[in-house]
A = this chain, B = another copy of it.
Amino acid sequence: MSSSTVARAMRLLAELGEGERTLEQLAAVLDVHKTTVLRLLRPMEDERIVQRDAAHRYRLGPQLFALAGLALEQRGIRSVAAPHLRELNAATGQTVHLAAYEGGEVVYIDKYDSRHPVRMYSRIGLRAGLHCAAVSKVLLADLPVTVRQQLADKIEFTPFTVNTLTTPEALLAELDTVAAQGWAQDHAEHESFINCVAAPVRDVTGRVVAAVSLSVPDILLPYEQVLALLPQLRATAAAVSADCGLATH
């Protein structure tokens, strides 16, 4: 048993998500009398969940923004992403990272370990190398160009491997590529035997709020096959973005 009245109210919200509607349009969608719709809408209007303009057309209201903001604060990107990361981890069997840019650094927020017994020393809360980690490239690529340049000048370009980018120019060029293609790689730039790919998570405003990555030792999969995981990775990142409120249609 569940409340059909509330179910109708939810259907109204979904319908209003498509665009502004008049009372009678909504009544037609629910296949009920317009009186009914009016009385369903009234409490929602009181709470500013829906609004009506001068022409009595209904639309979604500002209280929805407020609620969504509260919900995100409560849960954080981490818990929103968690089920999707778990799924990606299960599907690929590889190490999955979630990272965010916070005050000049890139921090790992969450991690799901590979099923294979290959140790990785990353840990939640640790900082990722700004010039080598795939997640860093994704996150930096969304920053304004001026900020990128300032950051690039401050970075210490520790040459972890022969592939590590060692100059601000090389990094900035790479970031342009990443911004254009919508994903990033780390081709043995931090560890000579590990390749990574990363994709951005965006919120409603379109801003990149986090990055998801797959890290794979080349004894498990050669570089080319890591790139073959890109579709799955990007699908995961898109799913997390969707749960953050990014419209998918």
Interface residues of A (CB under 8 A from B): 1-7, 9-11, 13-14, 17-20, 39-40, 42-44, 46-47, 49, 51-53, 59-75, 80, 82, 86, 90, 102-103, 107-110, 117, 123-127, 144, 146-147, 204-206, 242-248
Contacts and interface: CB of A to CB of B under 8 A. Distances in A.
A68 B245 contact: yes
Contacts of A246: 69
18 contacts: A2-B39, A2-B42, A3-B40, A6-B42, A14-B67, A19-B74, A20-B74, A63-B125, A65-B71, A65-B72, A65-B124, A66-B123, A66-B242, A66-B245, A69-B124, A73-B247, A86-B144, A90-B147
A66 B3 contact: no
A112 to B, nearest CB: 9
A75 B205 CA distance: 13
Of the candidates A40, A65, A82, the one having the most CB atoms from chain B within 10 angstroms of its own CB is A65
Nearest to A19: B74
Contacts of A247: 66, 69-70, 73
A49 B124 contact: no
A71 B124 CA distance: 13
A42 B3 contact: yes
A7 B42 CA distance: 8
B64 A67 contact: yes
A3 B43 contact: yes
A248 B62 CA distance: 13
Of the candidates A4, A86, A245, the one having the most CB atoms from chain B within 10 angstroms of its own CB is A245
B102 A40 contact: no
